[in-house]
Homo-oligomer: A and B are copies of this chain.
Amino acid sequence: MSLHSDRLFPADPHTREIARKLYQSVKALPIISPHGHTDPSWFANNEPFENPAALLVQPDHYVLRMLFSQGVSMEELGIKRKDGGAVETDPRKVWQRFAEHYYLFRGTPSRMWLDHVFFEVFGLTEALTKESADRYFDHIQGCLQKPEFLPRALFERFNIELIATTESPLDDLRHHQTIQNSDWKGRVITAFRPDPVIDPEFEGFADNVKKLGEITGIEIKTFDDYLNALRQRRDYFKRFGATSTDHGHPTAKTEDLSSEDKHQLFSVVIGGSATPEQAETFRAQMLTEMALMSLDDGLVMQLHPGCYRNHNEDLFTAFGRDKGADIPVQTEYVQALRPLLNKVGSDPRFSMIVFTLDETSYSRELAPLAGHYPALKVGPAWWFHDSPEGMRRYREQITETAGFYNTVGFNDDTRAFLSIPARHDVARRMDCAFLAQLVAEHRLGEDEAMELAHDLSYRLAKEAYKL
């Protein structure tokens, strides 16, 4: 195994030469990671990662889904059962199972990310197979004990200028506090993800709102109380660097209800008797409320809609969320976002970044919307489409209508900390490859492409997230 320096560049020699030149100019830029799911306790406590399986296999839903799809059970991978039932406890055995099935990832981005981690982070040069599994395990395990593999050391080695984590309004942000209090200079900020207190169908919603009241010292009786509590938490998050909110709704629906309707709906929802339609309307209205708060506090709104969560019920019951059983669904934006966009979409104080798992919306809905509304930008290719092919489709379907400047650079959106440089590297390479094609086809000057490569790799993310 080795990572070829020309990987992902177009095969045509002339185009490849242009891509190389563009990539040379951006490959060493610091990483801006404005949206992701790393655990702030890593950077707060700076303790060694446990073992190769716990670090690279068990928390990675891309890996779990692929192995599960080919008959490897969650138990064999050592994923904890909620009922405490027996699962594999030996990380070496989990690692071996992973290694035996590593060929399944051929052609997938996971393969690229993992190879990058093996080679660049751990210096491994043989391919991962059943035969090399033990050597891999021992080598990685050895590394993890060394100071240069502690989270903060890796953060620095990865040249991360800034990373954002994502927390619930109920989180006390103690780890961020610890980081702030420490003398470590790494910039780790939070982002405000209010789904648990905004979505009436979230597990424990009523309790969550109650807890929100306790934390804020506001007795939440009316919709106004509730909004005030949320406003207060947004302020609290800003103290820990937050520049954005994030919303993981089932759809992109927004609403702009009358004051009376809002208050009535809140009573129903807080009373626990909301129908699915009312829950949907409440989430829709709350997006607009969050947008209105953004006018005041300047937090950038992110919307991540369109996923059927926990599609496999037995798996969810036994093992819980995020085990690779979330499936995208068709998602509509034009009607859905209209109430919100008509209210604040042309307000210079507002900024909204929309993502999609439904690629049909790129050219049909999102590029036209982002190519018109000043507040709206299209987030990068997301999740299942965070892949070389997904990135190419994204640029090919967005650029013609929205250009480059209504997009926001790259998000790694990951909890797989070690893969962050790999993911940004894939994004930079694919953007350079796309730009190189425009240059080779005489649609763009090389100087313009050079500027754009820098913008897409670095500047746009910083600007869009106000970092």
Contact = CB atoms under 8 A, between A and B. Distances in A.
A107 B312 contact: no
The listed residue with most B CB atoms (<10 A of its CB), out of A7, A127, A330, A332, is A330
Contacts of A131: none
A368 B328 contact: yes
A103 B448 contact: yes
A407 to B, nearest CB: 10
A189 interface: no
A370 interface: yes
Interface of A: 3-4, 6-15, 65-66, 68-71, 103-109, 111-112, 127, 308, 311-315, 324-330, 332, 334-335, 338, 341-342, 345-346, 348, 357-360, 363-365, 367-374, 376, 384-385, 387-390, 396-397, 399-406, 437-438, 440-445, 448, 452
A321 to B, nearest CB: 14
- In the A-B complex, the 10 residue pairs with the closest CB atoms: A4-B442, A387-B400, A7-B442, A11-B440, A107-B399, A11-B12, A11-B15, A327-B368, A389-B396, A328-B364
Contacts of A376: 69
A4 B438 CA distance: 12
Given A104-B403, A328-B368, A390-B400, 11 more contacts: A6-B441, A11-B14, A11-B441, A65-B371, A103-B448, A311-B369, A325-B372, A326-B368, A329-B364, A363-B385, A387-B400
The listed residue with most B CB atoms (<10 A of its CB), out of A3, A107, A443, is A107
A328 B365 contact: yes
B373 A312 contact: yes
A371 B69 contact: yes
Nearest to A71: B374
A66 B370 CA distance: 9
A8 B7 CA distance: 23
Nearest to A323: B372
B66 A345 contact: no
30 contacts: A4-B442, A11-B440, A11-B441, A12-B12, A69-B370, A69-B371, A69-B373, A70-B405, A70-B406, A104-B405, A105-B403, A106-B404, A107-B400, A107-B404, A107-B438, A107-B444, A308-B334, A311-B372, A312-B341, A312-B345, A315-B346, A328-B334, A328-B364, A329-B334, A329-B335, A330-B360, A360-B360, A363-B384, A388-B441, A388-B443
A28 B368 CA distance: 34
A364 B372 contact: no
A342 B357 contact: no
A442 B16 CA distance: 12
Contacts of A103: 405, 448
A108 B384 contact: no
A308 to B, nearest CB: 5
A314 B346 contact: yes
A262 to B, nearest CB: 20
A359 B367 CA distance: 13
A189 B143 CA distance: 56
Contacts of A127: 445
Contacts of A69: 370-374, 376, 402, 406
A7 B443 contact: yes
Nearest to A367: B384
Contacts of A66: 371, 403
A364 B359 CA distance: 7
A397 B348 CA distance: 37
Contacts of A346: 312, 314-315
A113 to B, nearest CB: 12
Nearest to A109: B400
Nearest to A438: B107
Contacts of A4: 442
A437 B400 contact: no
